[in-house]
Structure 1
């Protein structure tokens, strides 16, 4: 079933895992993974917070629907999910693609955001070459209906060299998640990310506290990208996680969880 929200076709409800009690903490997954990436965070953070991990449109247990590709539509999906759960405001966190959706949520539904966590993502739009690469991959995924393009082109850049050398179980898990990505959803998401706007002005207008996280070995969204976001945000702190690449919650879950837990607890103390 679908409904119209602010003029966009929005799924009635995303599939989401919802565990724990307390301050709502919504974690939005990276491309081309699913909410399965948040297993450690659900286990560890749910003792202190209400942890909600949706599958974004087309991934995991969520339907793709027929909307035009757009990160704004994905943000509307998350807002609709919060409304369905009677959650007025939440700390919103996103990694990579999830960060793009979190920034779109700040733009379209700022009243839903109590605090903001942006991990291994960036505020700028894609330059032409990167946009064209996304669109070529979307075409290949659509034509082949297999995840080969993701395994060949996306997977190698997701993890840092330390993980590749020392954490074979993490690599195996991430490879499995990438191979499980539905090609239609991955193609849709690539087109959505290719079309996303620059969010720097959005960050300048954010009125809530923010945490920016980046892996020291991230080759996709660099420490410079993270610092630019932290500088644009009026009230932000920056955490650089050592020996981690683009997927800090998976590569260094202890350090990531500690940073997010301390930030969310501070947000909860500061305002109702």
Structure 2
């Protein structure tokens, strides 16, 4: 089944497509829409099943999610864009580079990894997916996923940010979350894709990120032929939400340099 993604589309200029983390929606990009739409066309889709997008009945796969994004490009008349993905969004962005490389002008990978899941992580995803389907609630996400989404600084000093993230997790449709966990559990290693890319890339990681590590970020930056890496201080896994000003500044500088060279 063809799924047409719902997307917020604001601003004008070089298109910047931002793909959200699990188990959130494009609502997580509020500070990016507000902070970057003055300089760029900021497009933030809800990946299938999340936010305003339907789930469809395809087999769970990150490739299907990437194909959805490629269809959105065509629907919106976007020829090429700077594509950014955070966590699950990074997996989708790498799949897009593998399957539709001509669409990607530049790549931003934040709080993500290019390796496939280690067996314990994969088993945890499948166990959570089964519980989501069985219980029909987000309890397992609140218990097991939410604690890893933000860093200690946010927990201690940014109560409003943590509350917002918790609300987004609780709003996740359980069936969509189960589908996405199965899709991520089955995703392939993406290092060969990264090594073959000739586009500029920016790799970002929060210095308090627990699910993704600085070592994994460096491995991606080293694999990419043309990449820079940035460690964002006092940020956990959702670095774009926890430190939006630093994230936006880095993305704006990267995308502005690309738009100058692509004219």
TM over 0.5: yes
2:201 equivalent to 1:210: yes
2:189 equivalent to 1:198: yes
2:153 equivalent to 1:162: yes
Aligned to 1:5: none
Instruction: Pick the aligned partner of 2:121 from 103, 124, 130.
Output: 130
For residue 134 of structure 1, give the secondary structure of its aligned residue in structure 2: helix
2:57 equivalent to 1:47: no
2:256 equivalent to 1:265: yes
Moved over 3 A (4+): none
2:60 equivalent to 1:69: yes
CA shift, 1:86, in A, is 1.1
Instruction: Pick the aligned partner of 1:92 from 83, 108, 132.
Output: 83
Aligned pairs for 1:179-258 within 5 A: 179-258=170-249
Distance of 1:163 and 1:153 partners within structure 2: 18
Deviation per CA, 1:39-63: give whole Å up to 9, x if none.
0100110000000000000000000
Deviation per CA, 1:236-259: give whole Å up to 9, x if none.
000000000000111000000000
Distance of 2:262 and 2:34 partners within structure 1: 26
2:137 equivalent to 1:146: yes
Q: Could you tell me the TM-score, scaled by structure 2's length?
A: 0.99
For residue 187 of structure 2, give the secondary structure of its aligned residue in structure 1: coil
Instruction: Pick the aligned partner of 2:14 from 10, 23, 31.
Output: 23
Aligned to 2:164: 173
CA shift, 1:207, in A, is 1.2
Distance of 1:161 and 1:203 partners within structure 2: 31
Distance of 2:102 and 2:58 partners within structure 1: 24
Task: Show structure 2 runs of 5+ residues with no match.
Answer: none
Distance of 1:65 and 1:130 partners within structure 2: 26
CA shift, 1:270, in A, is 1.1
What RMSD over aligned residues (CA atoms) do the two structures have, in Å?
0.5
Q: Could you tell me the TM-score, scaled by structure 1's length?
A: 0.96
For residue 188 of structure 2, give the secondary structure of its aligned residue in structure 1: coil
2:110 equivalent to 1:119: yes
